[in-house]
Structure formats: structure tokens, C-alpha cells
Amino acid sequence: MEMKKLLTGFIAGASILIAGCSSNPDAESNETIVVQESVAPTIQTNLEITEEWNGNSVTLSLFDSERNNCAIDVRTVGSECYGFYIGWSANFNDADRVVDYSIVETTTISELQVGDSGNFQLMYQNPEDQNSPISVVKEFPFTYNG
């Protein structure tokens, strides 16, 4: 399934929690930041999203509570990862950057430009019903400062 950038305000009435974690990557560093915020009360999860910044690109990965990469186990019914994926809203168009959507649980955004900002999002949709609502479970801001 090809992922599209989620539009701000896409989920009307959804409980969106904004965590106080923002990224301020150094273009010369390669750091990993683990983000785990409170979740909306209707969707309980202990999933974590990591950000790995390398110059002007960021790789986002989804991990379960035992630190297993969801890209490996996501399609297993009953898995902690089942139905969750990574999304974002940003002040740039995906077509203006290099975005690797090959694995929805690990996404890389490259060729970021100074001033690019937005929110990385942990998303959920019932995988057994593609018409079910999409929920933003966790959201956290990012800014690329070069």
C-alpha cells in the first residue's frame, strides 16, 4: 500500500496529543532519538517511534514494547504493531523531497531543507476494515535546522 502524506486536520474530532519533543538535528551528526508520549485513551499502545538523523535525512522506525522492529512483525494478527504505521504532516510537499515509502513501518525522508518542519505521527487504522477511521495516536513536532 502506497502511503501518502497525511493532511493537517484530516481527522475531525480525533484526540491528537502533541508531545513536547522536537528534533533539532545537527547536519554533521548521526543521532537516534526515542520518542514515547501519552496516547489517546481510545487506542492504547506502548509502541515507540525512533528518529535517526543523518545530515539532511531522517529515518523513522516503529518498535514494539520489547524493542522488536514492527517492519518485521507488523502483518501478524494479534501483534502489538498490527494496524499501526508512521505518517506526518509538514510544510513541504513530498514530491519536493525524497521519501522512501517501501516499508510503512520504516520511512526515510531525504533532502530536507533548512526550515522544513511539521509533525511525525503514529497512525492507526483497523487493517481488517480499510473503510474504518484513521486515527492519529501520537504526534510530535520536528524542525530541520541544518
**Does an H or E element contain 54, and which?**
strand 48-54
Which residue in this structure is represented by grid cell 492519529? 136
Please report, to the nearest 10 degrees, the dihedral formed by the alpha carbons of residues 75, 42, 14, 8 taken in order.
Answer: -40
pTM of the model: 0.66
In tens, the pLDDT along 92-129 reads 998 999 988 777 678 899 999 999 999 999 999 988 89
pLDDT of residue 14: 28
In tens, the pLDDT along 3-42 reads 333 322 222 222 222 222 333 344 444 454 444 444 444 7
- Mean pLDDT computed over 37-53: 74
Q: Are 50 and 98 in contact (CB under 8 A)?
A: no
pLDDT of residue 78: 77
More confident position, 137 or 105 = 137
pLDDT of residue 75: 63
Q: Are 58 and 52 in contact (CB under 8 A)?
A: yes
Half-sphere exposure of 16 (CA within 13 A, CB side): 20
CATH-assigned architecture of domain 30-143: Sandwich (2.60)
CA pair distance 101, 104, nearest whole angstrom:
6
More confident position, 140 or 1 = 140
Q: Are 48 and 34 in contact (CB under 8 A)?
A: yes
| Eight-class DSSP state of 7 | P
